[in-house]
């Protein structure tokens, strides 16, 4: 044990060498190396967590840098896992960082979680949040989760089924598009740092058995007032365990099925065959100014929520797209409800198009 390095932790009342030894022996898996992971991962590395696993399938973009402080300008275009792992090991060369450059699915989650003592969910989408909650409950490992949006965020912890879990607090996901993503609604960078720090604190508390974890409680922060609020919740006695291997998380969270999606390769093939569908771009005008697909009609999602304007042909094959493929899912839902008979959304959005088809758009 490096006594000099950890001297300020060792001096804490009730902490000491025993708690530090537990940190060194712990294996913690972090889902997401974005805004929350950027605060959680370096905090855990610096505190002395012995093994940190990082799961993410994304790459670093310029727009990530204000809030994802684990990455730097030189990391743009790199895998977030690789960038985060390098930062963590630079902070503390004595720890081990395990890299998983893929998106979590049920099979991988069940297999992976069994090798860790605790899972931290810093993901940015509801299918992954519900999957992670169910998989940790199935495997029997504690979970610390957090979420941020605009000027606020929340943190909770569970050790289901022994404590109330995520589904007890949120039995059903919100309607698609009703919760603004950071991409759409924005997020104050310091909110990510604050919420991520609280998440890291919960990890340390659970691993070392100091303090009282946020089991059965969720703490929320409002950065505009500087206030915090705590909400307690209990087990739902009517809830039944969910088997992650047989549950359709995308359908549960309102993600369009493959029948209503088009890949970048499929859309490029249609363009090559002169089969140009009607393109609808639901991003904001400032985003369209930076980069857009040719011949696309700009129709911000907020305007589409108020109704479909005249001039669009509901009978013509249509593809709706956004930046990452999140807003377009809501756009797809609105267009189908408005009577568009052949409408799909672009999987991965313009980000995937730039990566797979047209690298000149990668500046966005």
Q: Token pair 């377009």 is at which residue?
A: 328
Instruction: Give the rounded distance of the alpha carbon of 269 from its chain centre.
Output: 31
Helix intervals (H) in the chain:
7-10, 16-25, 37-47, 80-91, 106-113, 126-139, 166-169, 182-185, 189-208, 249-252, 264-272, 285-290, 301-306, 327-337, 349-356
103 with 123: CB under 8 angstroms?
no
Helix (H) or strand (E) holding 320: strand 318-321
Which of 49, 88, 143, 182 is flagged as catalytic? 182
> Is 192 assigned a catalytic role?
no
Which of 193, 203, 322, 346 is flagged as catalytic? 322
Residue 234 burial by Cβ neighbours in a 10 Å radius (0-12, 13-18, 19+): exposed
Residue 14 burial by Cβ neighbours in a 10 Å radius (0-12, 13-18, 19+): exposed
> Is 182 assigned a catalytic role?
yes
Q: What are the residue numbers of the active site?
A: 182, 322
């Amino acid at each position: 044990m490096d006594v000099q390095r950890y001297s300020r932790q060792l001096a804490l009342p009730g902490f000491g060498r025993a708690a530090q030894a537990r940190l060194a022996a712990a294996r913690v898996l972090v889902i997401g190396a974005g805004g929350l992971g950027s605060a959680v991962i370096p905090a855990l590395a610096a505190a002395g967590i012995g093994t940190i696993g990082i799961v993410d399938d994304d790459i670093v973009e310029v727009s990530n840098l204000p809030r994802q402080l684990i990455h730097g300008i030189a990391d743009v275009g790199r895998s977030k896992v690789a960038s985060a792992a390098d930062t963590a090991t630079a902070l503390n060369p004595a720890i081990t960082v395990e890299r998983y450059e893929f998106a979590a699915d049920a099979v991988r989650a069940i297999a992976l979680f069994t090798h860790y003592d605790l899972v931290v969910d810093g993901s940015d989408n509801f299918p992954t949040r519900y999957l992670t909650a169910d998989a940790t409950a199935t495997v029997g490992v504690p979970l610390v989760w957090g979420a941020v949006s605009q000027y606020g965020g929340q943190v909770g912890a569970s050790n289901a089924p022994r404590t109330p879990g995520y589904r007890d607090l949120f039995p059903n996901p919100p309607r698609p598009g009703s919760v603004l993503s950071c991409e759409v609604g924005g997020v104050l960078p310091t909110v990510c740092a604050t919420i991520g720090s609280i998440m890291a604190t919960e990890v340390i508390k659970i691993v070392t058995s100091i303090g009282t974890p946020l089991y059965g409680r969720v703490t929320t922060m409002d950065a505009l007032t500087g206030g915090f609020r705590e909400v307690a919740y209990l087990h739902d006695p009517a809830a039944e365990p969910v088997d992650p291997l047989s549950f359709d998380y995308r359908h549960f969270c309102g993600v369009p099925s493959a029948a209503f999606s088009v890949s970048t390769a499929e859309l490029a093939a249609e363009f090559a065959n002169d089969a140009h569908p009607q393109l609808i771009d639901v991003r904001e005008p400032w985003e369209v100014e930076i980069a857009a697909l040719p011949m696309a009609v700009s129709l911000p999602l907020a305007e589409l929520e108020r109704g479909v304007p005249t001039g669009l042909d509901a009978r013509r094959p249509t593809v709706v797209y956004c930046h990452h493929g999140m807003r377009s899912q809501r756009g797809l839902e609105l267009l189908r409800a408005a009577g568009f008979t052949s409408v799909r959304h672009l999987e991965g959005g313009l980000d995937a198009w730039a990566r797979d088809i047209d690298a000149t758009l990668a500046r966005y």
